[in-house]
Structures are given as C-alpha cells and as structure tokens.
Structure 1
C-alpha cells in the first residue's frame, strides 16, 4: 500500500474494532447483577458457540481441523487461552469494581510491555527513541505506584497478560486466523467455564434468565461482543499500515479513560494525572519514533539502500 494512501474501509474497520473495545466497561456494567466470574464464563462459552457458527458459515472447518493435528499450535493455543482468561477476568473485575481508569492504564502501557517482551525473548535491539519511551513508562509506573500506595496491579496484570498473549499469538503463525485462534482458545477454556458456572450457581445463583429479559439478552451477546472486534481488527490489519494501526489502538483506552473519569467520576488526584501524562508522553515518543523510522525505511528502500539497523 502506498505510504500516502489509506484504505477508507480499513480505517472504518479499525475504528469499529477499537470503538467496540472502548465500549466494554459500559457493557459490563449493564450486566449487573452478574459478577465477573459469571460474565467471563458466559463470555467463553458463547464465544465458542459464535466462532463455531462462523466456521460453519465460512466453510472453514477443513483448515481448522488441520490445526487440531498440529501439536505446536494446540499447545500454544492452550497457553494463549489461559492468558486471555486471566486478562478477561481482571478486566471485567476492574470494569465492575470502580477501576475503569486503572484498567485503561493497562492498555496504554501494553505497547511498551510488548516492546520489552521483544527485547527479552526475541533479542530485539531498541532504537534510542524506543529506549526513551520505555524509560518514561517506567517512571510513570513509579509515580502511579507512589500515588496509589502500591503498584497498579490491575493495569500491570492487564498489560502483561495481553502482551504475552500477543507474543504467543505471533508465535502461532499466520495460518491461524482470528476465528480459528479464538475457537481453539475458548474450546480449551469451556470446561473451566462450566465448572465456574456450577460454582456460581451453588454459591449465589446464576443471573442468566433470573434478572429480566433485557439482562438475559445483553448477557447472551457476550460471545458476539467478544468475537466481532477481533474479526474487525484482523480485517483492518490487512488494509492499513502498522503505524496507522498504532495510532488507532489508543482509541479504546482513551474511551475507557474518559468513561471512568467523566461518567463514573473515578478519583484523579494530581499524582495520577502526572502518571498518565508520562504514559501519554511515552506513547507520543514511541509513535513519533515509529513514524520517522518507517519513513526512513521507505526512503532507503526507494533509493536501493539496505535497511538501517
């Protein structure tokens, strides 16, 4: 794709994906009185149902069946499933327990975590701008930890669980589509989800079907709301440059942050504003560095020169 041309459909798909992810805190609050465990359990089970329907509608069962015979893919999908389950539980807990702002912080610092994982596990070398962004992010977490009186555990858990999830998904390879990957991950987790629903029923009672028709309909959409953004994201990624996707990815945590501050009126003392400002500065440095590096790489390519280190 030429550097100066963008796909309108790609932009619409990307905004749709991150917009839906940004809406999730409001959606989870609408599911009261369902608790985080029940919500995540239904999310797992209904996501599997929705993915199986998609596989049938797109006649993709044959390539999916081939994945079932690949031990490496199956093992990685199990790890990915565990990581995304941790991410979902912590995120739903944060969204329904008054920590929407801290949950948003997790997705703001996720790109920095992903860079760190690349350095540690893939031995990638950071450019000076990337080092600066990492340093500013570490300072931001220290400021927030001092302000909270403890490390921002919800944010850190979300950032690292999703960072490792992305790393594992990358190791699975391009032949594992978004639908196939989510199908495998939720299939591994369904037995746990069933046990969780039984435990919820025994300890307090499942809310599905007992809190009104509207609640049941909203909860039944958990699978759709989980899978659709992933499909939109996968389609957008094939149509847009990585730098553009990098800009748009901040839409979701910005929406979540605004929802937490302006709608839920979560407290934002001065030290928290300073911490968030440092995170946003780190992201600005990281994004600007990525744009400059990409333009230089394109220019060197056009000039027939080898890529810079």
Structure 2
C-alpha cells in the first residue's frame, strides 16, 4: 500500500502537499501526535479487513461496512450538528431497515461488526481535524504503519 500511495502522490503531483504536511508536523506537536493516532486507527481497520476472511469472519466485517454509513450519519448529526431534510431521513430509515433485516437473517453481528462500524468514525473525525490533503495524510499514515 505504501508504494501505491507514493505512486499516486507522484502521478497526481501532490509532492508539495506531502512536504507541506511533513513541515506542519515539524512545527505543530498536536499534528505530530494526531497522525500516528490516525495511523493506528486505520491500521486496526486494515488488519481486520485482512484478518476476517482468513478466519471465517468476513460476513461480520461486511455487516460493519453496511452499518458504517448509518454511524457516519449519526456522527454528522450529533457531533457536527448537521441537519437532514425529510427525504434524507427517509433514506436513512430505509438503510436502517435494510441493515436490521441483514442482522436478523444472518445473525452475524459480533465484535468485528462493531470494530468496523464504530472504529472508522473516530478516524474520520480526526482526519477532518488534521485538515490536510487526504492523499498526503494517507501516505504518511501508511508510512507510519510500515514498521
């Protein structure tokens, strides 16, 4: 993943964003802490994504990915105080019904489901606070995960 992220940086001409983020890290101790934390949150998700199929838990992880948009809507609503119009609430209700049906039919709700559904929102909130080029931040996170 690290070579792929660096190749995308090169292909898209994002070296200045990457260098700028590295310079920001050198000047701001909070960013120096935030990037390894976001890398750790991402690392847990990547590990689970690779671990689950090898251990027969892919259905549970997939269910977490189905729940993720709903948890992100809740984060948007209650953490960022965003408002949904009635049509958007109807879409959320339909999605919730669909996910509830899958949980009922598959009975696949377990800890991997919760790790995906509840683990990504803090990552995305932190990434938004970092306020950096997404590809540059991802490349640094992946580089931090390499060791």
How does the TM-score come out when normalised to structure 1? 0.38
Q: Residues 136 and 180 (structure 1 numbering): CA distance in 2 closer, same or farther, change over 3 Å?
A: same
Higher relative CO (Cα under 8 Å, sequence separation at least 6) belongs to 2
- The residue aligned with 1:103 is 61
Q: How far has the Cα of 1:56 moved from its partner?
A: 7.8
Aligned to 2:30: 72
- Contact (CA 8 Å) 1:144, 1:151: kept in 2 or not? no
Candidates 180, 193, 204, aligned match of 2:136? 180
Larger-gyration structure (1/2): 1
SS at match of 2:89: helix
Partner residue in 2 for 1:189: 145
- Match for residue 122 of structure 1? 80
The superposition leaves residues 78-107 of structure 1 with CA deviations (integer Å, 9 ceiling, x where unpaired) of 332122111111111223233434433333
Whether 1:63 and 2:26 are equivalent positions in the alignment is no
- Distance, in Å, in 1 between the alignment partners of 2:45 and 2:112 is 10
Q: Which residue pairs with 2:116 in the alignment?
A: 158
2:125 match: 167
Gaps of 5+ in 2: none
* Runs (5+) with no aligned partner, structure 1: 1-42, 195-309
> What corresponds to 1:239 in structure 2?
none
Is the contact between residue 141 and residue 151 of structure 1 (CA under 8 Å) also seen in structure 2?
no
Distance 1:51 1:71, change over 3 A: farther
CA RMSD of aligned residues (A): 3.2
Q: How many residues align?
A: 143
Q: Is contact 1:112–1:133 with CA below 8 Å preserved after alignment?
A: no
Provide the rounded CA distance (Å) in 2 between the counterparts of 1:64 and 1:56.
15
Name the CA distance, whole Å, in 1 between partners of 2:93 and 2:126.
25
What's the secondary structure of 2:79's corresponding residue?
helix
User: Are the aligned partners of 2:61 and 2:113 in contact in 1 as well (CA < 8 Å)?
Assistant: yes
CA contact under 8 A between 1:145 and 1:152: conserved in structure 2?
no
Q: Which of 44, 58, 83 is the aligned partner of 2:41?
A: 83
Q: 2:70 aligns with which of 112, 119, 138?
A: 112
Task: State the alpha-carbon separation in 2 of the partners of residues 54 and 133 from structure 1.
Answer: 34
